[in-house]
Amino acid sequence: MQYFDILKRAGKITWGYKALWIFGILVALVSGGGNGGSSGNSGASGNWPESGGWGHAPHIPAGLVIGVIALLLILLLLFFIAGTLARYLGETALIKMVNDYEESEVCYTLPEGFRLAWSPAAGRLFLLDLIVWIPLVIFFIGLLFLAGAPLLLWTVDNFVASVAGILFSVGAFLVVLPLLFIIGALVTLLQYFFRRVCVLEGAGVFAALQGGATLVFQHPKEVFLMGLLMCGVNLLGGLGVLLVVLVLLLLALMLSGLPALLAGGLAAVLFDGAFAWVVGGLVFLPAFFALVIFPSLLLRGVFETFKSTVWTLVYRELN
């Protein structure tokens, strides 16, 4: 297998086949995030701050609070469903479009790509992930629990037993954590082939598991070396995206930070309390989205497209 030729071919396809980027962005929207709950504590005090002249907060009916919470939970559920659907449609489209391009050099339009993606294969990919990861996560939790079990000796009123519990747990974690990392990396590597057997061969979930595993175990050296190479690519690509995001964030602060401070300062003169922060944020957010969020999402989408293309080419090469 010509490893670097595959990377160059994947780069050429990714750059020239712009319709793929949209589906890469759909994958990046879900697979790259995970910090959506970082602000859950921002205003949970019982009273508004006295220093701002707001006094005690007005009484809020319990029914209204329950209704708002229920609405937020429903919106969160809808967001999860939409994100999951987008991810598996995106993955299905990327695999099919790249494979067909390699077969006959056909370039699908965006609507044609969505028609390709809207297929039973997308649902099978979802089931495939559930079947693979739910037992694996349970297994991981069990191993971590066993590794931490000696810490229960702290409940014994004995210094020697407590120290022994710490030592046993530290030793167990030193063994378990690398083991979990290796198993997770191996399963992730196998999943690239499970998915392609499922999408390109039209296989069912269990047939995809068997077919993907068989292909990998028939070519362990090639898959392992490509996996190592892609680890390096992921590291360099992640650092590159991070560097670009930091530059864009600095640019956003330079272009919109001062106007946001001026608007917030003016609002602070006219109004009491946190309203000034709201005004400043409303001035800053458009530039933040335009200069940071959208470009970084595009970069991650292109990178996800490249990675998916690499593994589709590897799958075709091994077959």
One-letter amino acid at 208 equals: A
- Give residue 17's pLDDT: 93
- Return the CA Rg of the chain: 25
Q: For residue range 226-276, what is the model confidence (pLDDT) as tens digits? A: 999 999 999 998 898 889 888 888 887 777 766 666 666 665 556 655 655
Per-position b or e across 2-15, b if 16+ CB within 10 A of its CB: ebeebbebbeebbe
Q: Is 156 left (phi over 0), alpha (psi -120 to 50) or beta?
A: beta
- Give the least confident one: 69-73, 157-161, 203-207, 312-316: 157-161
Contact 297, 90 (CB under 8 A): no
- Give residue 130's pLDDT: 93
> Is the pLDDT assigned to residue 53 strictly greater than 90?
no
Mean of the pLDDT values across residues 202-211? 93
Distance CA 317, CA 276 (A): 59
**How confident is the prediction for the chain on average, in pLDDT?**
83
- Give the least confident one: 36-45, 70-79, 162-171: 36-45
- Give residue 277's pLDDT: 60
Q: Is 34 left (phi over 0), alpha (psi -120 to 50) or beta?
A: left
Q: For residue range 264-283, what is the model confidence (pLDDT) as tens digits? A: 666 555 665 565 566 556 66
Mean of the pLDDT values across residues 186-195? 94
Distance CA 190, CA 215 (A): 9
Q: For residue range 72-88, what is the model confidence (pLDDT) as tens digits? A: 889 888 888 888 888 99
> Is the pLDDT assigned to residue 49 strictly greater than 70?
no
- Give residue 50's pLDDT: 44
